[in-house]
Structure 1
Amino acid sequence: MTEFASLGRFEFACGESIADLVLAYEAYGEYEGDNAVLVCHALTGSANVANVGSPGRREGNEDGQARAWWDAVVGPAKPIDTTEYFVVCANVPGSCYGSSGPPATDPETGAPYGADFPPVTVGDWTRAQARLLEHLGVDDVHAVVGGSVGGMNALDWAKRYPERVDRIAAIAAAARLDPQCLALDAVARRAITSDPKWEGGDYYPGHGPTDGLGLARQLGHVMYLSKASMDEKFGRREAGREAPDTFPADPGSLFFAYRDVESYLDYQAERFVERFDANSYLYLTRAMDDYDLADGYTSDVDALAAFDGQALCLSYTGDWHFTVEQSERVAEAFRETGTATAHHVVDSDHGHDAFLAEPETLAAPLRGFLASGVRAGSVSDTATATDRSSQFAPVHTSLFS
C-alpha cells in the first residue's frame, strides 16, 4: 500500500526550497537492520513496484509503469525477495504519483505548485530517498537497485553516500546521456512547451497540453525500442483500421496507409496522457539529461573512489538509449577504484525497456548479486546472458543508421 512521508523543509540543488517535502513510498518485508534494499524507478515509474499484499493492482497498467511495474522481480521468492529483504521504493520529487512535484498542492498557497516547483536533479532524488530511509529508521542499505534513470539514481548513491550502501546494481544505465539522447529529449520537451494548452506550466486544473505530452511520449517509445524489435513487431504492416483522432490528420492521410507502428504509438500516447503530468515529464527528463556522474569530480573514477562495496552493471545489446559500451565504462570506473564489479551483458533485441519487458533476463544475475555479491558463477551463469568483463557485443548505436 502506498504511504506518504512528510519530511519537512527541503532545499533543492538549485538553491530553492519547499516548506514540506512529501514522498509517496511503498515498503515490503521486515527490516532487520542489515537487509534494506532501495529500488529506484525509471522515468515515469511510481512507488508501486510490486503487487505484494495488494493483488490485482497491476490490472490495466501493464505497460505504464504506474502500478506493479516490476512485479516479476520484487516479491516473495522473486529475485528481490521480500521474505529476505526490506524493500523500499519511493516516487521521486518532481513526479506526479504522490510525491511533491508540479501538480501537488503547495501548502503555503493551497494551489498546485505548477511551474513554481523548484527544478529537480537526480542528486535531489538521492538526498530525498536518504531522508526517507532515515525517517523509516534505516541507517545502512544492503543494496540500491535501479533501471534506466533509476540506475543513474543508484550510481548517485555510490557517489553521494558511499558509506551507507554495500551493493549497487545499475541496470540499463550510464554515467550520463549521450548527445543523441539529449537531442531527442529536447525535441520531446519542445513538443510539450509548444502546445498552447501548456500555458507556461500553469494549466491546473485541467489536463493541460495532452497533444504535446502525447508526442513526447511517442518519441520516448521510439527511443526505448531497437531497430530489430520494431521491424519484428511492426514491419511496414497496415493497422487494419482507420487512424483514431489522437492528433489532427493531414489531407493525404485518407489515401495512405495507417500503419501498425503508428497505431502502437497513438495507443501509447492515449494511455500516457491519461496518467501522467506534462510538467512532471519536463522536470524528470531535465533531471535525467542533467545527470553526470563525474559532476564535481575530476572523473567517474574519482566520483566513485570512496565507495567500498560491490557493483553490478547489467546492459542489453539492443539498447541504444544506454548502450553496452556506456555500461562497460561505468563498470571499468568501478574496477579502477578496486571495487568488486561484474558487467552482465544480455543478448536481446528488445531495446532499452528490456529490463521491464523481459524481467527473466535479469532474474538470476540480480538474485545472485544480492545474495552473494560478485564471485565466480554468482551473476553470470545463465542461459540468456554472459558476464563480459573485458569484451562485449556491439549494439545498435543509432536508430537512424
Structure 2
Amino acid sequence: MSAIGPVTTQFFEFGSPEDPFRLENGATLSRVRLAYETYGRLNAERDNAVLVFHALSGSAHAAGINPTSPIGPDSVLDPAIWTDECEIGWWDNFIGPGLALDTDRYFVICANYLGGCYGSTGPASVDPATGAPYGSRFPDVTIGDIVNTQVRLLDHLGIDRLKATIGGSMGGMLAMDLALRHPRRVRMVAPVAAAAGTSALTRVHNFEQLYALQEDPNFNRGDYYGGPKPLQGMILARMISHKTFVSLDVMEARAKGYIVQDDNDLKGYQMRHQIESYMLYQGKKFARRFDSNSYVKILTAWQSFDLARTFGGGDLEEAFRRSRGHQYLVFSIDSDVCFFPDEQAAMVHALKRAGVAYHYVTVHSDKGHDSFLIEPELYTPTISYLLAEAHANA
C-alpha cells in the first residue's frame, strides 16, 4: 500500500507567441506545458525541496496512487496510454513519510520531460499555431532544454535553491546537468546508476532503437497521429533496451511460465523458448503505454549527452569544477549492464580531481540496472542519512 496515497497531476504553462521558449538549437515553442506532482510541504524558508528526475520512459507520477490520465485536451494521444501499471508511482517505495525522500521533512517534486507523452508538451501536443499535432515538426530537444524547463518550474514554485536533486539512469544525467548548468540552484546531487556521458555502447543500443522506430512503415516520419500506430518498431525498440535494464538471471526467472504467440506474431517462426515470449510481452506492454515520437525525441537527447564537452571543453574534471559547492552521492550497481560500474568510477575519479565532495556507494544486487527502482532497502539508509546531514548543515 502506498505511503503517499492518492495524488493528482498539476500543470504549469509558460511561453507565448511574443515570448516563446527558445531551445538550444534555436528552435522555439510558443507554449510549453509541464505536468508535475509534489509530495510533502514546502517549508517557510523554501529550502527543503528535492527535485526528482525520472528515467527515460517515466512520468511525473513518482509516488502515490493516480488513476487519472495526465493526457489533456491539448494532446491527441489516447488517455488510455495511462495503463494500470502507470497508476502506482514508479518510485513509490522511495518517497513518503519515513522513506528515503521523507515527505515529513522534504518537499519532493517530479515533472514529466519536455518532449514526453505524459502531460508535458511533446510531439503529440497540439501546435497552437496550426491546431494540429506537432508530429514531425516537433523540434529536437537536449538534456539542457529539459533541465531549463524544470528550472522554470522551480521559479514558478518560488524555489531558489534545492536541497537536492536525484535521479536514476537518465534521470541521474539530468540531475548532474542541472548542477553544472545552474550550480547555485542546488546543494546535493545524487546520480543513481548513471554516467557523465553517453558511451559508445549506449549510443549503439540507442541507435538500434531509433532505427527500429523510424523504419516501422507506420512511423511516417513522425506524422502517424490519426492513422495506424508504429507498434512493431516500438515493440522491437523495447526488446532492445529491456535486456540492458534487467539482468539475465532475472529475465530467465520471470520467463518461467508458458509461451504466448498470437496469430500475427512472427508468422514464419514458432517460439519455443519462454524467454522469447517474455521479451515479446515486455515489448507489447510498453508499446501500449508510450508514444513512439516521444521515445525518439528523448533518445535523441540522450545520444548527445556529454558533461565533459558541454561544460569542460572535453575535460570532465574541468566540468566538475563547477560543482565545487555541491555534495555528490554517486550510486553504482555491480550487475548493471546499462550504465556499467566503470562509468560511475570514472565520474568519481573526475569529482575527486576536481575537488568536489562526494560519497560513492556500490550496490550489490542481482537485479541489474532496474535495482534502483525495485530495491529501496539498498539505497534508503544512505540517501536518508546524507539528506538529513545536508538538511542539518544548511
- Report the TM-score when normalising by structure 1: 0.86
Q: Does 1:325 align with 2:342?
A: yes
Give the match's secondary structure for 1:153. Answer: helix
Q: Identify if the C-alpha distance between structure 1 residues 95 and 242 changes in structure 2 by more than 3 Å, giving closer, same or farther.
A: closer
Contact 2:116 2:122 in 1 (8 A): yes
Per the alignment, residue 39 of structure 2 pairs with 28
Per the alignment, residue 363 of structure 1 pairs with 380
Per the alignment, residue 320 of structure 2 pairs with 304
Q: Does 1:343 align with 2:360?
A: yes
Letter in 2 for 1:277: D
Q: Does 1:194 align with 2:223?
A: no
Give the match's secondary structure for 2:281. Answer: helix
Per the alignment, residue 222 of structure 1 pairs with 243
Distance 2:147 2:215 in 1: 31
Letter in 1 for 2:333: Y
**Superposition deviation, residue 98 in structure 1:** 0.6
Distance 2:263 2:167 in 1: 36
Q: Identify if the C-alpha distance between structure 1 residues 57 and 355 changes in structure 2 by more than 3 Å, giving closer, same or farther.
A: farther
Per the alignment, residue 78 of structure 2 pairs with none
Q: Identify if the C-alpha distance between structure 1 residues 16 and 66 changes in structure 2 by more than 3 Å, giving closer, same or farther.
A: farther
Give the counterpart of 1:267 among 276, 281, 291.
281
Give the counterpart of 2:266 among 238, 248, 251.
248
Per the alignment, residue 287 of structure 1 pairs with 301
Contact 1:36 1:88 in 2 (8 A): yes
Q: Does 1:38 align with 2:51?
A: yes
Per the alignment, residue 183 of structure 2 pairs with 162
Letter in 1 for 2:49: A
Distance 1:263 1:277 in 2: 23
% identical aligned pairs: 39
Contact 1:41 1:146 in 2 (8 A): yes
Q: Does 1:15 align with 2:19?
A: no
Per the alignment, residue 107 of structure 1 pairs with 128
Give the counterpart of 1:80 among 85, 101, 106.
101
Contact 1:196 1:209 in 2 (8 A): yes
**Superposition deviation, residue 192 in structure 1:** 1.1
Contact 1:39 1:145 in 2 (8 A): yes
Letter in 1 for 2:320: L
**Superposition deviation, residue 206 in structure 1:** 4.2
Moved more, 102-111 or 292-301: 292-301
Distance 1:38 1:118 in 2: 25
- Structure 2: 5+ residue runs without aligned partners? 1-7, 70-80
Contact 1:57 1:67 in 2 (8 A): no
The total of aligned residue pairs comes to 365
Give the match's secondary structure for 1:353. Answer: helix
Structure 1 stretches of at least 4 aligned residues deviating more than 6 Å after TM superposition: 55-58, 60-63
**Superposition deviation, residue 177 in structure 1:** 2.2
Moved more, 190-199 or 218-227: 218-227
Distance 2:83 2:93 in 1: 12
Letter in 1 for 2:275: V
CA offsets 1:233-265 (integer angstroms, 9 cap, x no match)? 44xx6x534413463321x41xx61x2211211
**Superposition deviation, residue 283 in structure 1:** 0.6
Per the alignment, residue 181 of structure 1 pairs with 202
Per the alignment, residue 398 of structure 1 pairs with none
Distance 1:61 1:279 in 2: 16
- Report the TM-score when normalising by structure 2: 0.87
CA offsets 1:331-370 (integer angstroms, 9 cap, x no match)? 2222222221011001112111110122221111111121
Contact 2:48 2:391 in 1 (8 A): no
Contact 1:246 1:266 in 2 (8 A): no
Give the match's secondary structure for 2:337. Answer: coil
Distance 2:191 2:116 in 1: 21
Letter in 1 for 2:381: A
Contact 1:92 1:99 in 2 (8 A): yes
Letter in 1 for 2:251: M
Per the alignment, residue 394 of structure 1 pairs with none
**Superposition deviation, residue 207 in structure 1:** 5.3
Contact 2:163 2:390 in 1 (8 A): no
Contact 2:117 2:294 in 1 (8 A): yes
Distance 1:112 1:295 in 2: 34
Moved more, 221-230 or 39-48: 221-230
Q: Does 1:48 align with 2:61?
A: yes
**Superposition deviation, residue 150 in structure 1:** 0.3
Q: Does 1:205 align with 2:223?
A: no
